[in-house]
Structure formats: C-alpha cells, structure tokens
Chain A
C-alpha cells in the first residue's frame, strides 16, 4: 500500500484532515513531524494548511528552515510527489521549490468560501486524474493568498504549462488568476484552495478533492 506522509508543524491546522483524506483514498496515512529530519520512507508528502510558526515573519518563512524541510527538499528534487496546500504552498515558495510568493489578499479580507477553479494542466502527479479544462469547486480559506511573481517568471510559468489551477472568479488579486502551480518536473504542486476538505459528502459541497489523491496513487502504482 502506498504511504503518504503529512508534515505537522507548530501551528498546522489541516494536518488531521489531510491524513484523513489520504486514508479515505486508500493509501496509508503517515504523520510526519517538523522537528525530525526523517520522512519515514514515505512515497509522497503533503505539506498541510495552517499557520506554521504563527506565520511570523512571512507565511511559511520559518517553517522552511525546520529540520524536516531539508529532507523534503532533497526528496522533491529527486522526484518525490509533494503537494503544498495553502500554508504548504506558501512554504514551497519560501523553499524555492516553486516560483513566486504570496502576499496579503488585495481586498485585505480573510476569505473563506467555496472557490471555483479551472484545471489548466493534467501533466502533474497530483492532477493526472483530472481532464484539462475541468471546472471544479474547492474550499478556499486564507488571508494571504495573493500570488505574485515578476513578469519573466509569470511568462515562463505560462510558456511551460506550469499553471495548474486558475480561479474562475479571482478572489484575492493573484497574478494571472493563478490558484496553483507546479515545478518543471510536475512532481511538486502547490495551491491555495484545500482539496483535503472536498473528499466527503457529509462535509463537502463537492468531491472535487478526490482526484488529487487518486492522481498520486495512480502515478505511484504505475511507477512500481
């Protein structure tokens, strides 16, 4: 059975939901700890949402230098699937595994709502179970989700098909309506919305989060 790790940082909020979503997808959910440099031999890693280290300094800036991150960065560079959700996305940007950075939402408000997204590329390990152009609804909840990068970086992301999700109704001023991106290799994906909250009928308005998990499981089973 594939093993998917979820890292808990001090201030993580959605690590338990992410672990539960992994379990529901049929994989073994493995709790990982920020203070250890071990990732326990997992096959994929999720960096969950929340406010790691209180989001002091900048979102994800201090978590980026926690002991587990050197191992995560090393594994990501060797091709391991890594998904950063919300604070996890901010963290991947701080770690330079993904381009750009997040600033405060343009309207200054914390936004919590069901967000409509378009899947722009299925050429990643976390989206290969979608179809390009799919319109999905995923929970969004953040105060600093305004994605920014310099014009050359934005052009490179577009040219290389690295924009994974776009907002249909841009809530926060993100450049190019970008909600999520990937690295060149397609194994590291970050997005602000929370797919782990959209996996169960009882609590979700949609089940559009499920393909994230089936995608990575498909990828892992094809690899073995």
Chain B
C-alpha cells in the first residue's frame, strides 16, 4: 500500500524541552557536539494511488489535526 509521511517539528523559535533533555543525555553518554530537536513522524497508508488530490487531502489533515501550526511546522513527504 502506498505510503505518505508527515513530519511535524516544533518551530525553530519555540523552545523544545524534550529535544533539550535528549541533547543533555547524549552529552552525558559522550556524544558531544550534537544538538537534538524532537518531532513526530506520521506514516499514512492510502488506498489506491497517491494522487495530487490525495496529497492535498493529507496536507489539509496535517494542517487541521496532525500539527498545531501555532507551535509546529510540518512537511508532507511521499515515501
């Protein structure tokens, strides 16, 4: 079944407390010089072909539900 991926990330100007905590833990494990921001990945399996209409629908779904665009940005990627 064809798959479309929606990646959701906290906007750059918004503090990312989770990413900051992960960055700190990596540093303690010796993985230095790395800065992490944490987001979400949604894998969407679609019936039939991934048409431009289907992609537009997924874009709407991301805008309406999957991301809160006040604090997050998203991208729709065809897998």
Contacts and interface: CB of A to CB of B under 8 A. Distances in A.
Interface of A: 57-58, 61, 65, 93-94, 99-101, 103-108, 146, 148-150, 173
Contact of A173 (B10, B13, B15, B21): B15
B36 interface: no
B1 interface: no
A1 to B, nearest CB: 38
Nearest to B66: A57
Nearest to B42: A57
A65 B65 contact: yes
Main secondary structure of the interface of A (DSSP, over half): loop
Chain B interface size range: 10 to 19
B30 interface: no
Nearest to A99: B70
B57 interface: no
Contacts of A101: 68, 70-71
22 contacts: A57-B65, A57-B66, A58-B68, A65-B65, A93-B70, A101-B68, A101-B71, A103-B10, A103-B14, A103-B17, A103-B71, A106-B17, A107-B17, A108-B17, A108-B20, A146-B15, A146-B17, A148-B15, A148-B70, A148-B71, A173-B15, A173-B17
A19 to B, nearest CB: 29
B44 to A, nearest CB: 14
Contact of B70 (A104, A105, A149): A149
Nearest to A153: B70
Contacts of A105: 17
Interface string B51-78: 0000000000000011010110000000
A57 B72 CA distance: 12
Contact of A100 (B20, B21, B66, B70): B70
Given A93-B70, A100-B70, A105-B17, 16 more contacts: A57-B65, A61-B65, A65-B65, A94-B68, A101-B71, A103-B17, A103-B71, A104-B18, A106-B15, A108-B17, A108-B21, A146-B15, A148-B14, A148-B15, A149-B70, A173-B15
B62 to A, nearest CB: 12
Nearest to A109: B17
Nearest to B70: A101
A148 B71 CA distance: 8
B43 to A, nearest CB: 14
Contacts of B13: 150
Interface string B17-47: 1101100000000000000000000000000
Residue of A58, A93, A106, A107 with highest tally of chain B CB at under 10 A: A58
B17 to A, nearest CB: 4
A163 B66 CA distance: 28
Nearest to B21: A108
